[in-house]
């Protein structure tokens, strides 16, 4: 019973932290911009770089780092009371990613959750984190599709955990985290297959207007939490 209560408490805390949108908080209260726009064709981090530059992007990364660190450490501390520290960290990471990707506060419309996942995996085991990030970088460098790198790294996370001797339950939690990442990048994968996904680091897209000076297509824009 104590373990169940600790799991529920971990889930609530981590999911609520996931609901905290760095994009919205920084854009509204730091950059004083109430309209947060997100293009379906780009990642939220790319959007933020385009709108607020390197400083804004660094602030967003630090925000996600802080909330991920807080959730994972709290989850580990709570489940550590019943000698399940690693399970607590993994479960907290899963609930955080779930809250970031499907936030109740914003009607289940959230971000890609890749950055949170990438930070969390390092906090759980640096070896797995390093392997996942190397996999992401390799796929990204050779394809220039950030979404493809994210999916590949996420899918390999559970495999790397089993390779490094983690238990089946720990691997399953990692697999659930990966599933969320894959689902959030499903549209990108469909566009990659269809040949309509833009490759990353087309710097003409990092401005309010395209390379031809035209405004972005409103159909590609939506509110982003």
Q: What are the residue ranges spanned by the domains of the chain? A: 2-223
Burial of residue 143 (number of CB atoms within 10 Å: 0-12, 13-18, 19+): middle
Contacts of 221 (CB under 8 A, 6+ apart): 37, 38, 39, 40
Q: Report the length, in residues, of the chain.
A: 225
> What would the pLDDT profile of 135-184 be if each residue is shown by its tens digit?
999 998 998 888 888 889 988 888 888 888 888 788 889 889 989 998 88
Q: Phi-psi region for residue 10, left (φ > 0), alpha (ψ -120 to 50) or beta?
A: alpha
For range 130-135, the mean pLDDT: 93
> What would the pLDDT profile of 192-212 be if each residue is shown by its tens digit?
888 888 776 554 444 444 433
> What would the pLDDT profile of 30-62 be if each residue is shown by its tens digit?
877 755 554 443 456 666 777 777 887 888 889
Considering the entire predicted model, what is its pTM?
A: 0.80
Question: How confident is the model at residue 45, as a pLDDT?
Answer: 66
CA–CA distance, 206 with 138 (Å, rounded to integer): 23
């Amino acid at each position: 019973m104590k373990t169940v209560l600790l799991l529920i408490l971990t889930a609530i805390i981590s999911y609520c932290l996931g609901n905290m949108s760095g994009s919205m908080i920084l854009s509204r209260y730091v950059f004083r911009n109430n309209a947060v726009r997100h293009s379906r064709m780009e990642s939220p981090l790319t959007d933020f770089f385009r709108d607020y530059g390197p400083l804004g992007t660094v602030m967003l990364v630090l925000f996600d780092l802080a909330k991920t660190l807080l959730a994972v450490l709290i989850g580990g501390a709570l489940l550590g009371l019943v000698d399940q520290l690693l399970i607590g960290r993994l479960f907290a990471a899963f609930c955080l990613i779930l809250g970031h990707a499907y936030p109740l506060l914003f009607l289940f419309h959230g971000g890609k959750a890749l950055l949170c996942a990438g930070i969390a995996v390092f906090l759980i085991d640096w070896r797995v984190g390093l392997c996942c990030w190397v996999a992401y970088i390799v796929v990204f460098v050779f394809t220039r599709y950030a979404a493809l790198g994210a999916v590949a790294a996420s899918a390999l996370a559970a495999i790397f955990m089993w390779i490094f001797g983690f238990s089946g339950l720990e691997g399953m939690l990692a697999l659930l985290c990966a599933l969320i990442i894959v689902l959030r990048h499903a549209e990108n994968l469909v566009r990659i297959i269809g040949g309509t996904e833009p490759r990353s680091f087309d710097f003409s897209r990092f401005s309010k207007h395209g390379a031809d000076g035209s405004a972005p297509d409103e159909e590609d824009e939506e509110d982003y939490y």
